Structure 1
Amino acid sequence: MPRPVTVPLVDLAQIVERCAPLWQQLAGRHLLITGGTGFFGTWILSALAAANAACKLGLQVSIVSRTPAQQRARLQHLEKEMACNWIAGTAGDFACPHQPPDFILHLATATSAYTGETDAHRMLVEKLMGIRHVLEVARRSGGARLLVTSSGAVYGRPGAHLEQIPETCCTAPDPMNAASAYGNGKRLVEQFCAANADLPIVVARCFSFLGPHLPVDARFAAGNFIRDAMAGEPITVHGDGRAIRSYLYAGDLVVWLLTLLLQGKPGTAYNVGSDEAVTIAELATRIAALTGQAELRILGTPGNGPAECYVPSIDRAREHCGLRVYTDLDEAIWRTLEWHLRQRKTRFGIVTP
């Protein structure tokens, strides 16, 4: 039996409170979610279930999954708080639910985005088949409102002259570099959305995140540093540590995505992330300090050119929807680390309060 997937109760309570003005817009409504069992989806489903129970919304959620029986077992506790309908398939081929959805959250991403696989052809095909099918379902439903998750990768490498990347930045990944398939795939997804302007679509360009359920064995530097620290091993930075990033906490992410779904301007892309910049070396140092891990290794030789910066401007989200960063970086690191430590202790039969 798979272990239940849990999100900290304190985070769920904060999400329910911060989204209080939104919940009645979802009362009695039907949401369709692709990618509902990944990092984003796990948080979204947990928050919706908590709000449904707390606010008596009568919410119905249909969740697309390649392995619905397995995922339903992992998330069975949520079904006690919310009506869930599991649909077998992928974003590119799932059967339309019998009841047309009022809202669609297209969170699905290519598996290789997490595993680090470099099958560019597969990634592009999955993305294009997914968005094409999701838009068809939206149109058949009578024009369901959509939130489509894209990525800051659509900007390619804007250059060090930009301390923050605005949505108006027109740089792009190199289309002749197969390693750019993820970013260019997301650009094509956005182009499909723009070509279907009759549908109410909001695009969320997501940057980097921290929080419970963040994989610690994938391509995410923050997760890898936490993995190293928990294992009592040196925290290892494989580059020179000068690259600049920012990290939005997962609880904040849920508030942002739900707000953009319901209040974002259709036909508009919004950067989703934190504007609190930190170098990779500084991130590793903060994690080391919070965990008591004394040893830090930076393997790369410092470069001579300007450091790569991947930090969003979030002015548009602030101005259109009143969104902000609720959880600072140190708190985000600590909550992520604490959850992973609790999971490890529970796994070995030591239950923490």
Structure 2
Amino acid sequence: MLDLIHQQLRRDCLTAADAIPLLAGKLRGQHVCVVGGLGFAGTWLAEMVAALNDERDARSRLTLIGREPHKWLQQYPWLRRDDISLQAADVRSSFEFPRDTTLVIYAAGTADPRKQASEPHRVYQSILFGLDNALTAANRLESVQRFVNISSGLVAGGVDSTAAVTEAAIGVLDFKRLHNLYAEMRRAGEAMVSAYASQFRLPVSTVRAFTFLGPFQPQDAPWAVNSFIQDALAGHEIRVHGAGSSRRSYLYGSDVAAWLLQALVAGEDGEVYNFGGDEPVSHEQAARWVSERTTPTPRVLVRTGTGDDTRSRDFVPDLSQTRRRLGVRVTVAPQGAVARTLQWQADCMGVARRLRDDGHPA
């Protein structure tokens, strides 16, 4: 089963990359470094670089920078390759990039609300100290062509919850409330990036992440679809908090990686690009997709009783600018993204028997 999943990962990477004209050619000979590169985005970038080098003659190199690279290699031994290097670093302290680095992605700083609640100061340091250190190190490079900072769609704050969020949307955040810490730090990070670009003429673009989905997310990730998958694979009812009408639009990992590489080679100085799916899906619908692919079929419990919040809170990007400026498109539909993630998690947990025969990714 693992070989089949690896083949699916490779196919998805090539499909996503081939949807962007000339991407492999623009990456030829480039050395990409990813700070905070041992998580979801960095691992998908490793899969993408491996696919493009093997199948599209990209001849690019990738360096992933993070705290415990040996653990990453234990998890993903098939990514031990000559064209992928690992560099141990705590980004809260100063570090250097390999001298021949040409393209940089800053992906450090967890979006996990549990970490934000339990270790808020560490989250603050990882996002802001780490970003400052990365910008300083990038500014010392002789051949850096672009620095892409991964921010968050949450920086838009309290905008209309039913409208797709544009890059220009600005809402109000109560900075005194701890649950807004992550969004405030990402806002501060965007200001820092602008300062570096202005003072040092560093070529910087910003990506605002909305909802990503796919393999390489932690099994206990606290986001809605991940929680639905945990419930289903554990043999429990799938619990949907609130009315289930809040919507997300899911960008699958292979598209995330391809879009990030395109932002590196085609992004413009000072521009901001929303990254997310193009088809809003309610939490209830996502839960039913998970239920339909699991056996025995778990009941979907929409919790609309007394005390549950029944308001809809959408978190959906407007992709008009991203499509127009970067020329990207979604290649994995949301139902396929859910199916692929369910298959991956079931295999990792050793419970693939809980999936229906028709539950394999399409």
More displaced 10-residue stretch of structure 1: 211-220 or 6-15: 6-15
Superposed displacement of residue 200, structure 1: 1.0
Please report the RMSD computed on the Cα atoms of aligned residues, expressed in angstroms: 2.6
Alpha-carbon spacing, 1:59–1:19, altered in 2? closer, same or farther (3 Å): same
Query: What is the deviation of 1:114?
Result: 6.5
Query: How far 1:230 sits from its partner (Å)?
Result: 1.4
Please state whether the residue corresponding to 1:148 is helix, strand or coil: strand
The yes-or-no answer on 1:286 pairing with 2:275 is no
Q: Which of 319, 323, 340 lines up with 1:314 in the alignment?
A: 319
Q: Are the aligned partners of 2:153 and 2:209 in contact in 1 as well (CA < 8 Å)?
A: yes
* CA shift digits 1:45-66 (9 cap, x unpaired): 1111121122333322222121
Paired position in structure 2 for 1:190: 190
Query: 1:75-86, aligned counterparts within 5 Å?
Result: 75-80=76-81, 82-86=82-86
Of 260, 270, 295, 2:299 maps to 295
| Worse overlay, 259-268 or 52-61 | 52-61
2:35 corresponds to: 34
SS at match of 1:95: coil
Counterpart-to-counterpart distance in 2, 1:131 and 1:84: 22
Are 1:199 and 2:202 counterparts? yes
Mapped pair 1:225 → 2:228: yes
**CA–CA distance in structure 1, aligned partners of residues 126 and 344 of structure 2:** 32
- State the partner residue of 2:135: 135
User: What is the rounded CA distance, in whole Å, between the counterparts of 2:113 and 2:263 in structure 1?
Assistant: 23
Shifted more, 295-304 versus 305-314: the winner is: 295-304
Mark the runs of 5 or more structure 1 residues left unpaired by the alignment.
none
Corresponding position: 1:234 with 2:237: yes
8 Å CA contact retained: 2:139, 2:202: yes
Describe the superposition over 1:187-238 as per-residue Cα deviations: whole angstroms up to 9, x where unpaired. 1111111112211111110001221223331221101101111122100123
Equivalent position SS for 2:318: coil
Q: Residue type matched to 1:207 in 2?
A: F
**Residues 283 and 57 of structure 1: is their aligned pair in 2 closer, same or farther, counting only changes over 3 Å?**
closer
Question: How far apart in 2 are the matches of 1:138 and 1:23?
Answer: 23
Match of 1:43 in 2: 44
Q: Deviations over 1:44-100 (max 9, x none)?
A: 1111112112233332222212112332343443233x4233222122325313423
- SS of 2:84 mapped into structure 1: strand
Output the CA distance in 2 between the equivalents of 1:306 and 1:235: 20
Equivalent position SS for 1:186: helix
> Which piece of structure 1 moves more, 306-315 or 296-305?
296-305
Aligned partners of 2:211 and 2:276 also within 8 Å: yes
Of 221-230 and 334-343, the range deviating more from structure 2: 334-343
The amino acid across from 1:188 in the alignment is: A
Are the aligned partners of 1:16 and 1:50 in contact in 2 as well (CA < 8 Å)? no
Cα contact 1:118–1:179 (8 A) shared by 2:
no
Distance 2:274 2:216 in 1: 22
User: Cα deviations across residues 80-128 of structure 1 (Å, max 9, x unaligned)?
Assistant: 3x42332221223253134231000111123755646443332222211
Alignment gaps of 5+ in structure 2: none
Q: Residues 45 and 94 (structure 1 numbering): CA distance in 2 closer, same or farther, change over 3 Å?
A: farther
Which contiguous aligned blocks of 4+ residues in structure 1 show a shift greater than 6 angstroms?
A: 302-305
The corresponding residue for 1:331 is: 336
Q: Is the 8 A contact 2:243 2:310 kept in 1?
A: no
Q: Distance in 2 between matches of 1:336 and 1:84?
A: 24
Q: TM-score, normalised by structure 2?
A: 0.86
Q: 1:158 to 1:201 in 2, by over 3 A?
A: same
Q: CA deviation at 1:342?
A: 2.9
1:18 Cα offset (Å): 2.9
**Aligned twin of 2:10:** 9
Kept in 2, the 8 Å contact 1:241–1:281? The answer is: yes
CA distance in 1, matches of 2:98, 2:260: 25
Query: How many Å apart are 1:297 and its aligned residue?
Result: 1.4
Structure-1 separation of matches of 2:139 and 2:59: 24
In structure 2, do the counterparts of structure 1 residues 313 and 336 end up closer, same or farther at CA, with 3 Å as the change threshold?
same
Per-residue deviation at 1:16?
A: 4.2
Q: Secondary structure at the match of 2:80?
A: helix
User: Is the 2:13–2:255 contact (alpha carbons within 8 Å) kept by the matching residues of 1?
Assistant: no
Check whether the contact 1:29–1:102 (CA below 8 A) recurs between aligned residues.
Answer: yes
When normalised by structure 1's length, the TM-score is 0.88
**Partner Cα distance (1:114, 1:171) in 2:** 24
